[in-house]
Structure 1
């Protein structure tokens, strides 16, 4: 069972039916009250239509003013935090004016005893509680194969020295993912000391939730940190989905909600970026995606050629949109034509495809290999970058910053004089200069095993990565701006073929015992009127679920990146899975889903931070 379906069934087949069953008095509707973070979690795998079918009349934010509905039951679907509990208790501070009739609680993590005590002692609330459940849903889903913890701040909170509370939060959330997957004690492999610390703590947490009687599946969990490949978080990726989220975020795309704003027939409307055509296009190269959409438009033109000779595509689509049976198809094509047009406009603004070939220079920096498959000379690379920064003062500041960040991430032992020349030529704004300093301060330029490479200036690319880039550069039909591939792809291939080095990625020893989900009814919940529910009855999805499991996933590879993962790595996971035996699933996860813009935002200092500082050690 995929992670997305598991999360959907946990809510739709366990949590909501339990509430609906206990509503009583002929009522079958109730309100859902959520906090902002939980709403993002739910929205990542459910739509309002799914909830409405199961009796939810509306979804309201706990943090906002809400109309009292004393005749209607409510499901509070929340994180178990002190501030959250304060708002719950405020809803029932008066016996004469309660917010709701009966109350059902669903918390997304284990509730601390101190918070449970506050609930049981709430005079006007305790008698109204009819059910209580904890579900391990503290993470966001991305498509069917990705998840993240919505923690962009982890890039500075974990590196170079991890924040203890942040580390604890990550361990708890990763444990929740494992519990939702109902896997065995996973075989965990780690990249670094920090990764090993997370692995040890995850295993200890999982041991606390063991239920050997529950069925489970083999799982390999590999924990990495962002130092594995900083270039993947900075270089332009030309697959359609990556272009959309890199170039259009904050422009026509609201990346947090997956909403595109576009003009149609003179009206501005918002469109959810989730349709069958989007699923076809997302991993295609931008040019292949353009050709695919244009071919669909041409097909529609041929099928509806009545008087259409000489008519522009825009006018033709507008006419066809008036036919109800064509409206959805035309809207999808219009949406993606508009997106592709805007992507090309943004590439022009950033001068990626201009005669000086900034895109080619970027690929040379990321790969250490030029378009002809030859090793790049660092001196030539430095000279080219210096000339670009000096001769192109009109180059967008973010593009200059990305080029410098990419160069400093990919090249080791850069002389101080050379670093200074590049930074002076870039003339970065003070806040952008501090972003660069912040990135260098994380010491994420390369994995620990590659941080000392002699004293000479050299590209950090490994022999395996260089060989792959040479192969890509000389491959027939491959776009020259797509030579770079994330290191994760090769790592996954080696892992799947049992060729991954145990020296670089050692196994974290574990008990090997099965574990399951925490018992749904918390031990102290009976005082609140919630029955103790056996986990095996509800959370194992035993009703027909075992047969589906056997027909689907038989082995799982989960990759988790401390510091966040990228759209290119999500695509790489999908490509690797296509070549694995049937029944093998590859999941990609991290503390956040990174784009270059989001990485820069996470590294940007607070307004009061100083713009200047000493250059960190880049070794």
Structure 2
């Protein structure tokens, strides 16, 4: 039995993918504790540290073996790569050195947000990659991205073929970003493969995986257009924490006030999984049907008045006996859906969307070239119900539609709309990512052939508010059908001879019709066929609509398509990042610029013997069968001293178990 010690960063990584009870019961962990918190000594147990490689963390470990008696009997240290040599040297020469049993790299620095979506936990990537104020951070940021992508791929035992976006008419400074990331990744995963003879996981019948690396210039429209699907709209209009937590209100109290609660959307929420990619209109009707059925099955506990509001529905749900899990989930989704619908009506976003979709696709609702688009644009822009961010988004779409506007146009728009200088600067800064929003003269007439290739298309079926098809959808579709240009998306190595054949073989494969698709990060692989995996990475972040595209294409082509970026991006956060691209470095308040403490807290140097318990670690509960859900993803670590598991299931779990072997 061992003690697992995490820092604040690795704590969030671990708890995103595995429950505390799962670790405590299945992996024989005595307790889970935070590195720089007050911790009770457990001198008879060995400690497993899973932490970032910082001097501060090393000093905290050293403190555990400086106090008398030592807090633990030995230590096993797993660092997230890259690990500076100075950190390793300091650890080995500290008071913890003689108690050190292992020191290794732990390749798990990424966040599986959904079954087919991951992020790299970096919401400030746009600033670090595209701001002229952050040139000194570009190399280290790219190095970290490459290692994090190695973590994501090796967690699933994949050694992918690598392709990257190579813009045909680059017009921005960072045009080679995708190429540089791809080459760095190739070097790192080649090094990993050379050091691990049992890598990759060559499952019988599985086609080689592919990693396709792009940057945000692949699609200028998706981050700013209103998307009316449930998840995208909720991210756009409401406040989410870490993209999975949202505040909602419960039934009214005696004083007439509602009680706020924090809810969580995840793969364990069947309603979120089944409805997140549905149009908000369908979500509202489907959820109302679910609630009405629940109330119909419990007629003695509900108000029979036919004129009920969303608030009344929530009150009635909470009056039902039992069903706590369903009640909480239904109440949360009612709040999310009604919050979105309220904002749609308050701002008349349906009318806004008509103009947005025309600007984004280049066609009117009837499929013809728009003849009155400028008049329509000006009319919507004058609507007082829109806030300044909505107007900036609309102006950006219009500028891209026109292949750029001159400064005089923006001055007139600024006066007409009452926009600030910052609002106009956002529009100017989009050129730093390659968007054609500015042109030097009105006499310059640009056509599509003068600009970089655009990958978006138009959907003529379904809702008129959802006609725009994001560029990434079409890029992946071309990849899977063997039609993706090798000039626009070259390989880091020579093109494999059978790569086009394997891609073309996907055409005509039956769709997976199971809407409850298992998470690809799941530890139990027995239910999954040996499908080819396609990894997508977008430097600068991905949108909810792009995540939706991967699920749709996975069903069509029977592939495991896994998309990720530095972070999820929603329109308002994206515009804020664009504004930051021209701000001075000190005002960005980046983590990389903050002064980091190096000395361990004094209390870690003090022995807790003869003192009452000074912390409340998460400790091992009484075992109960069938009470813990399956883990969402295997924790991937490097452990060359541990013999690899024999069976595929154990192979995927072995990287987690290796942390807790002596």
TM range (shorter): 0.7 to 0.9
> Deviations 1:52-92 (Å, cap 9, x if unpaired)?
33445654443x54244354654322122334324433444
Correspondence for 1:360: 354
Q: Structure 2 residue aligned with 1:485, among 469, 478, 483?
A: 469
Instruction: Give SS of 2:580's match.
Output: coil
Q: Kindly indicate whether the alpha-carbon contact (under 8 Å) linking 2:48 and 2:76 is maintained by their aligned counterparts in 1.
A: yes
8 Å CA contact retained: 2:46, 2:74:
yes
> Over residues 347-375 of structure 1, what are the superposed CA-to-partner deviations in whole Å (9 max), with x where a residue is unaligned?
2344413xxx1121121222111111112
1:373 aligns with 2:367: yes
Query: TM-score, normalized by length of structure 2?
Result: 0.72
Deviation digits for residues 331-351 of structure 1, max 9, x if unmatched?
222221111111112223444
How does 1:182-201 map onto structure 2 within 5 Å? 182-192=157-167, 193-201=176-184
Which residue does 1:233 correspond to in 2?
223
Among 509, 528, 533, the residue aligned to 2:493: 509
Alignment of 1:388-427 (within 5 A): 388-389=380-381, 391-393=382-384, 395-427=386-418
Partner of 1:105: 77
1:225, 1:563 within 8 Å by CA — same for their partners in 2? yes
Contact 2:125/2:540 (<8 A) preserved: yes
Distance 1:46-1:597 versus aligned 2 partners, 3 A rule: farther
Q: CA 1:500/1:605 → structure 2, altered by over 3 Å: closer, same or farther? A: closer
CA separation in 2, counterparts of 1:197 and 1:585?
26
Counterpart CA distance in 1 for 2:418 and 2:233 is 27
- Deviation track 1:448-467 (CA, whole Å, cap 9, x = no partner) reads xxx9xx9425579999867x
Q: Taking structure 1 as reference, are residues 315 and 403 closer, same or farther at Cα in structure 2, changes over 3 Å only?
A: closer
In the alignment, which residue of structure 1 is the partner of 2:509? none
**SS in structure 1 opposite 2:78?**
strand
The corresponding residue for 2:241 is 254
| C-alpha distance 128-264 of structure 1, shift in aligned 2 (>3 A) | farther
**Which of residues 285, 288, 296 is equivalent to 1:294?**
288
Aligned in 2, Cα 1:326/1:376: closer, same or farther, shift over 3 Å?
same
Alignment equivalent of 2:526, drawn from 533, 541, 548: 548
Instruction: Note if contact 2:117-2:562 (Cα within 8 Å) is conserved in structure 1.
Output: yes
1:326 aligned residue (318, 323, 326): 323
Equivalents in 2 of 1:241, 1:171: separation in Å? 28
Paired with 1:604 and 1:89, the residues of 2 have a C-alpha distance of 43
Structure 2 counterpart SS, 1:594: coil
User: 1:410–1:459: 8 Å Cα contact kept in structure 2?
Assistant: no
**Counterpart position of 1:243:** 233
**Number of matched residues?**
527
What is the distance in 2 between the residues matched to 1:165 and 1:55? 37
Contact 1:159 1:443 in 2 (8 A): no
Q: Which has the higher contact order (CA 8 A, sep 6+)?
A: 2
Secondary structure at the aligned position of 1:342 is classed as helix
Match of 1:548, SS? Answer: coil
The alignment partner of 1:335 has SS state of helix
- Residues 371-415 of structure 1 show CA distances to partners (whole Å, capped at 9, x for unaligned) of 1111235xx4344333444x3355312212222233334431424
Number of the residue aligned with 2:55: 82
* Range 187-196 or range 142-151, more displaced: 187-196
Q: 1:219 maps to what in 2?
A: 209
Quote the Cα distance in structure 2 between the aligned partners of 1:109 and 1:100. Answer: 25
Question: Structure 2: how far apart are the matches of 1:463 and 1:167?
Answer: 25
Q: 1:273 aligns with which of 247, 258, 265?
A: 265
Please tell me whether the aligned partners of residues 218 and 471 of structure 2 are also in contact (alpha carbons under 8 angstroms).
yes
User: Within the alignment, does 1:117 sit opposite 2:89 as a pair?
Assistant: yes
- Which deviates more, 302-311 or 194-203? 302-311
Aligned CA RMSD, in angstroms, stands at 3.4
Q: Which residue of 1 aligns with 2:143?
A: 168
2:24/2:30 contact within 8 Å kept = yes
Do 1:185 and 1:203's aligned partners in 2 also have CA atoms closer than 8 Å? no
Give the Å deviation of 1:498: 0.7
Q: Secondary structure at the match of 1:77?
A: strand
Task: Give 1:257 deviation, angstroms.
Answer: 5.1
CA shift, 1:322, in A, is 4.8
Q: CA deviation at 1:319?
A: 4.9
Which whole-Å CA distance do the structure 1 matches of 2:243 and 2:292 have between them?
33
SS of the residue corresponding to residue 233 of structure 2 reads helix
Residues 112-148 of structure 1, C-alpha deviations (whole Å, 9 max, x = no match):
332211111112x123334444221111112011111
Q: Distance in 2 between matches of 1:201 and 1:46?
A: 30
In 2 relative to 1, CA 319–246 (structure 1 residues): closer, same or farther, beyond 3 Å?
Answer: closer
Distance 1:183 1:396 in 2: 46
8 Å Cα contact 2:543-2:568 kept in structure 1? yes
Aligned counterpart in structure 2 of residue 565 of structure 1, from 526, 538, 542: 542
Unaligned runs of 5+ in 1: 1-19, 24-29, 514-543, 611-619
Query: How far is the alpha carbon of 1:108 from its aligned partner?
Result: 2.3
Q: Give the Cα–Cα distance (whole angstroms) in 1 for the partners of residues 291 and 68 of structure 2.
A: 62
